[in-house]
Structure 1
Amino acid sequence: MELEIFKDNFQKAINVCERITKKAVSLPILQNVLLKTNNSFLEITTTNLEVNIVWNVLAKINQKGSLLINASFLNNILNLTTSEKVIIKQENGNLVLLSDGQETQIQGQPVEEFPVITNIEKEYKWQMDSLVLADGLARVAPIAAFSSVRPEIAGVYFSFQKNKLKLVATDSFRLAEKTILLNSTKQSDFQDACFIVPQYTCQELIGILNQEKGVVEIATDLHQVLFEIKGERYNELKCCVQGRLINGEYPKYEEILPQSYKTRVRLNKDVFTNRLKGAGLFSSKIFDVKIDVLTKEGKIKLFSQNASVGRNEYIWDCVAEGQNESVVFNYKFLLDGLNNIKSPDVFFELNGFDGPGVLRPDGDNSYFYVLMPIKQ
């Protein structure tokens, strides 16, 4: 094997692959990446048996071949390489990297020891903007939580319904939903289906999707999901992310969502966020902050107290409707919801001291965040 490749493009792929290999500490062979020439591309493959990534990087191929190299060591070498381009050669199963004034040899591993990645049977297939999917996943994926009793909530629920995709995650104390509209001129492109993708897979996918604007195609079978990411300009295949699906039925969350509210408050998001952070400094070990809404007076009050620190209270004007309310929430959970809202103002809907609260962006019906109060 011999090829010439842009160092930054090569390292971008190796960076992602190295993160995957670090999860495979029990199997040393999985700490390597498989480098293989494929037409005008260098194909870089890694797996930790939970997530598989195949990355295609444009290269000038002089001689075909394949190598299996330790990902972390290769990435460290690339970090110290200042050349715009590097030359990669294969000599006796080892990798030789040539750049300006540098020649490095890295010991390779037997290629045949690397596990074979099987292709999935594509029963369903959808297409959307890669940055839109990345944004949607970033708003819900952090909320998912590992549970040995309820493994289905350890991932993000993908629900394709006609011309839209709903992304949902919950940890049983809070829930977030983001709706993405799918653009297509053919009604046959819309297929209804639902599945659960592990949180870890989604988090890795977010980082890859955010690197540049493009198109992502999603395909599934009964047990696996495949994300094929293509560039915007030339529609070439950049990267494939393949992972297992979580078996099980996702909770029927729509049945328990509040259909109305007893009190609704409109707040400036930045002001609310900053004052929540201040109140949180005086909260107890359960991160509790008491929220009082005085509807007739048009006031909202945040109160927190800690016997070993002191007490804090904020009172300011707001636009409110409904009845007066006094509710206690986990302020960290509230901040998580506010941080995923991009509009300047938010609506905060309350349903009594023991009912769920709902955060909604002003002017955006595609996202909402539900959280349960702390019962006193």
Structure 2
Amino acid sequence: MKLECLKDKFRQVVNQAERATSRNPTLPILSTVLLEAKNNKLKIKATNLEIGLEIELNAKVEEDGLVAINANVLNNFLSNLNKEDKIKIELINNNLKIETLNSKTILKSLNIEDFPIIPKVETKESFKINSKDFLNGIHSVLFASAISDIKPEISSVYIYQKQNKICFVATDSFRLAEKNISLTVNEFLPIIIPFKNITEIIRVFDGIEDDLEIKTNKHQLSIFSSEVHFTTRIIDGVYPDYKQIIPKEFKTEVFISKTDLLNALKLANIFSDKFNQVNIDLNSTTKELIIHSLNQDIGENTLTLKIEIKGEDINLNLNVRYLLDCLTIITEEKIKIQLNEKNKPLLIQGQINNSFCYLVMPINR
């Protein structure tokens, strides 16, 4: 192996790849990145057996070759090369020599034969989607996912096809977020991606503007861009039938400024109790929404907002942080809130665009 490449791009890719490695003392090869030089390309591979990552970058390759190097050592080394534009890389006696204008470094390698094969999903079930749309779908719902993996089906993001839409869903059983992206694609099996792997997908593909090709089978998902191949385990299970908990009819409908509500809830959050609880009172006569928060150790706050309201008065307690989470996702200035009794879930959407909806359960205390 002998090549020359841009230091900053190489460092960026190694930094990404290190996140896909594992510091496993019984399998030290999982702490490495595999560097493969061929056809004026340098491919960096990493895997922890849960996810796998391959990223390709341009390089001036004089000799092809393969080498496995400790990812953390390589990343730390490259991060401290401050003034270098290009670096020269050469494999000598199974060790990696990295040369700059004023330094020469030798890094010990591991046996490349021990490096696991990163699987590529081979299936006819694939679809293409713009990376921004795909990440937008994930970002719009991920916050509602359960973090604990006690119930792996809900510590995830669920992706499925519905007519000419791709639906992204997440829930922790107290709230639920759904985002629909209008797109006609080939038919594919529903996908349940673990929460911790979803965060890596966001990190890897953030900033990439290519279309993504997504292939899936029962156990794995592969995502391809022009330079990146990402593979993740998916959950082999059945996602809860969440549609049955979304009310079909509502007794009260409210329209309110998102900015006004967001600012009011931020203020109320300061005085919420240990359960993040605030009281919401909807008055159809005065056309007001009154938010009251009380913390025995700090104090209390009451704030009144003008609203448009149709239907019955309702008084209920809600987790203020759950409300704040969803308001940052809705892009419209005016939002719609639909409710039934105080112990029933409420639905929040934009006034016009219903591609995102958010269901949240009241606090019954």
TM norm structure 1: 0.92
Matches of 2:312 and 2:288, distance apart in 1: 12
Question: Structure 1 residue 203 and structure 2 residue 199: aligned?
Answer: yes
Instruction: State the SS of the aligned residue for 1:143.
Output: coil
Counterpart amino acid of residue 12 in structure 1: Q
* Distance (whole Å) between structure 2 residues aligned to residue 158 and residue 89 of structure 1: 44
Match of 2:170 in 1: 169
Give ranges in structure 1 of 5+ residues lacking alignment.
184-188, 230-236
Give the letter aligned to residue 33 of structure 1: V
**1:285: how far off?**
1.0
Q: How does 1:255-270 map to 2 (within 5 A)?
A: 255-270=244-259
* Alignment check: 8 A CA contact 1:124 1:191 kept: yes
Task: Name the residue aligned to 2:86.
Answer: 85
The 5 Å alignment of 1:134-283 reads 134-146=135-147, 150-183=151-184, 189-229=185-225, 237-283=226-272
Question: 1-side partners of 2:100 and 2:17: how far apart?
Answer: 22
Identity of aligned residues (%): 33
How far apart, in 1, do the equivalents of 2:8 and 2:50 lie? 27
**1-side partners of 2:114 and 2:70: how far apart?**
13
Q: Secondary structure at the match of 2:236?
A: coil
State the Cα deviation string for residues 106-152 of structure 1 (Å, max 9, x = none): 22111112122233231410001011101110111232215565321
Matched, 1:29 2:2: no
Distance 1:18 1:339 in 2: 31
Q: Judge which range, 291-300 or 15-24, deviates more.
A: 15-24
Matching residue's letter, 1:48 = N
Partner residue of 1:285? Answer: 274
Matched letter for residue 205 of structure 2 = L
Q: Which residue of 1 aligns with 2:76?
A: 76
2:62 corresponds in structure 1 to 62
In the alignment, structure 1 residue 47 sits paired with structure 2 residue 47 = yes
1:328 aligns with 2:329: no
**Structure 2: gaps spanning 5 or more residues:** none
1:85-125 CA distances to partner (integer Å, 9 max, x unpaired)? 22211112222222232222222111112122233231410
SS in 2 for 1:151: coil
State how far apart, in whole Å, the 2-side matches of 1:268 and 1:138 are: 23
Change (3 A) 1:223 1:272: same
CA distance in 2, matches of 1:156, 1:24: 27
Ranges of 4+ aligned residues in structure 1 off by more than 6 Å: none
Q: Which residue matches 1:124? A: 125
Instruction: Pick which of 336-345 and 297-306 moved more.
Output: 336-345
In the aligned structure 2, how far is the partner of 1:24 from the partner of 1:295?
61
> Contact 2:152/2:194 (CA < 8 Å) preserved in 1?
no
Aligned residue type for 2:175: R
